[in-house]
Amino acid sequence: MTALAAGPQGRQRRLYVAALVTLGLGWGMTQPLGKIATSSGHKPFGLIFWQLVICILVLGTLSAVRGKGLVFTRATLKFYVIVAVMGTLVPNATFYLSATRLPAGIMSMIISAVPMLAFPMALALRMERFSARRLLGLLLGLAAVGLIAAPGAVLPDPALAVFLPVALVGPLFYAMEATYVARNGTEGMDAVQAMLGASVVGLVICAPITLGSGQFFDPFAGFGRAEAALVGSSAIHALMYAGYVWLASRAGSVFAAQCSYIVTGAGIFWAMALLGERFPPFIWLAVVLLLSGVALVSPRGAAKSG
């Protein structure tokens, strides 16, 4: 299948566009829901434990319907461990730590910095070539982060700027994960199988940490708004990921990757709608700078079906 721009027309094209918007709106909602999940005082690894349980249930059901189970070999186990640590345990722990203090809208902006962090890694590993356009993209991204951190510009309290480095750990590890997968592949698995396996291994790693640190909690004892937000956020993430895989296989990876732009705007919208967050005008300048940087850094090329 060729790129969407040169291929599917009519109803099929509208279906792909609708799917892209749905992905962006859905993933954007996970940021404020994640913040709500921390509102009852639940600690990061307790939240991650139940998030992984929900992801396994959702992805396991999808895998059963598709007739594709887990693949366990020495190579896939190594893949699962690396992706679980870099793509779930570390970034989610720092997300929950920073989400208790930073506005959800700011978190939605920061998460979109993944491509800009991944590019220098790919450059160092000689997976990408240097270009002035991408350097400009990196500089625009840095300008956006600087604007967010500037006293009185975007953050409601300048003291919150100290938590921005913590919030950036997540995108940094997502970029490391993306670079690893781009360089080494998924050991012959499709994305749903890979994520399910990583979730299972992640749960095995997370369980003793959660219990040993005293962060385990029973969500059914006094199930409330925070617990419902955790369930919703985890289920949405799993479903949106599966939807992303479907869209990338039909319309091409370049087209599907454009959902990252919608995620940022949607995250700010959902933060305003669900949490009542309000931002100064400077945030829109930061959004423009950040998304322009992402657009310049992200690779260009024809999107082909996978």
DSSP at 89: I
Place of tokens 């480095």: 165
Taking 70 as the pLDDT cut, the residues of the chain under it are: 1-10, 249, 252-254, 257, 298-306
pTM: 0.84
As given in the structure block, the two tokens for residue 224 are 């409330």
Residue 304: the pLDDT is 38
CB 183 within 8 A of CB 125: yes
Residue 253: the pLDDT is 60
Nearest 5°: the CA angle 267, 244, 63 is 125
For residue range 100-140, what is the model confidence (pLDDT) as tens digits? 999 999 998 888 777 778 778 888 888 778 888 888 988 88
Compute the distance between CA of residue 34 and CA of residue 91 in angstroms, rounded to an integer: 13
Q: Which residues contact 259 (CB under 8 A, 6 or more apart)?
A: 20, 23, 24, 27, 244, 247
Pick left, alpha or beta for residue 103 (phi over 0 → left; psi -120 to 50 → alpha; otherwise beta): beta
Distances (CA, A) of 172 to 128, 162, 253, 278, 303: 18, 17, 21, 27, 25
Nearest 5°: the CA angle 294, 297, 300 is 105
Compute the distance between CA of residue 37 and CA of residue 233 in angstroms, rounded to an integer: 9
| Residues found in the chain | 306
Residue 137: the pLDDT is 85
For 2-14, letters b (16+ CB in 10 Å) and e give ebbeebbeeeeee
Compute the distance between CA of residue 235 and CA of residue 198 in angstroms, rounded to an integer: 16
Residue 132: the pLDDT is 86
Compute the distance between CA of residue 167 and CA of residue 171 in angstroms, rounded to an integer: 8
